[in-house]
Homo-oligomer: A and B are copies of this chain.
Amino acid sequence: MSIDRHLLLLGLLRAQEMHGYQLNEFIDQQMNFCVDLKRSTAYYLLDKLCRDGYVAEEVEREGNRPERRVYRITPAGEVHFQDLLRQNLSTYVPPVYAEDIGAIFEHHLAAEESLRLLNARREAIQSHRARLEVLHARLPISHTAVIEHHLLHLDAEITWVDQMIAARSTPSPLKIAHHVAPDDPPARHE
């Protein structure tokens, strides 16, 4: 949702006025592990926040360098920030997990290949988790909660992959209702 990106930018500009490039550098260096925001998207969002009156733009000219738009949060932006923050903290919007789609169609592959692929994923998760643990030490204490959050979900993900692998390893636990199509048969009328 774009609204959380608004919250992010407002929160950062609230702590310190910045121009687009500076903001992008900060996000890339400090927050790449928890936000996915392309540079051009950040510029787009800054412009959007500006048009909506939540931040003010001021052209800065340092030395002989030409433009450089510096953004600072406005009073309206401060109010909006608080609204978005309260909204964010008090609700839960279930994310969409890409893995679900694969899980739905996984049985179309041979068990052997399926297991090979799922094991590859398991390793990918593990190595991602290892990278996060390294970050844990390198990043400021303010990020600890976010890292813990990711670690919890990564562990959940590993548990799930292991369940999938286990289910695929045993030939077929029990096939009572063998007449029910294993896939999704959307056939209705006609």
CB pair B104 A89 closer than 8 Å: no
In the complex, which residue of chain B has the Cβ closest to the Cβ of A116? Answer: B90
Known A36-B96, A183-B15; contact A105-B149, beta-carbon cutoff 8 A: no
Complex CA–CA separation, A91 to B149 (angstroms): 21
A134 at the interface (CB under 8 A from B): no
CB pair B4 A105 closer than 8 Å: no
A148 at the interface (CB under 8 A from B): yes
Known A15-B186, A120-B90, A148-B163; contact A104-B142, beta-carbon cutoff 8 A: yes
Map CB proximity to B onto A84-98 as digits: 1 under 8 Å, 0 otherwise.
Answer: 011011111111111
A1 at the interface (CB under 8 A from B): yes
* Interface SS majority for chain A: helix
A102 at the interface (CB under 8 A from B): yes
CB pair A92 B150 closer than 8 Å: no
A137 at the interface (CB under 8 A from B): no
**Could you say which residues of chain B place their CB within 8 Å of the CB of A18?**
186
**Could you say which residues of chain B place their CB within 8 Å of the CB of A177?**
141
**Could you say which residues of chain B place their CB within 8 Å of the CB of A94?**
128, 150, 154
**Could you say which residues of chain B place their CB within 8 Å of the CB of A142?**
104, 182-184
CB-contact partner of A121 in B89, B120, B153, B164, under 8 A: B89
Complex CA–CA separation, A28 to B81 (angstroms): 33
Among the listed stretches A40-48, A50-58, A106-114, which one makes contact with chain B, having 4 or more residues with CB under 8 Å of it?
A106-114
**Best-surrounded residue of A7, A15, A109 (most CB of chain B within 10 A):** A15
CB pair A104 B185 closer than 8 Å: no
**Could you say which residues of chain B place their CB within 8 Å of the CB of A22?**
186, 188
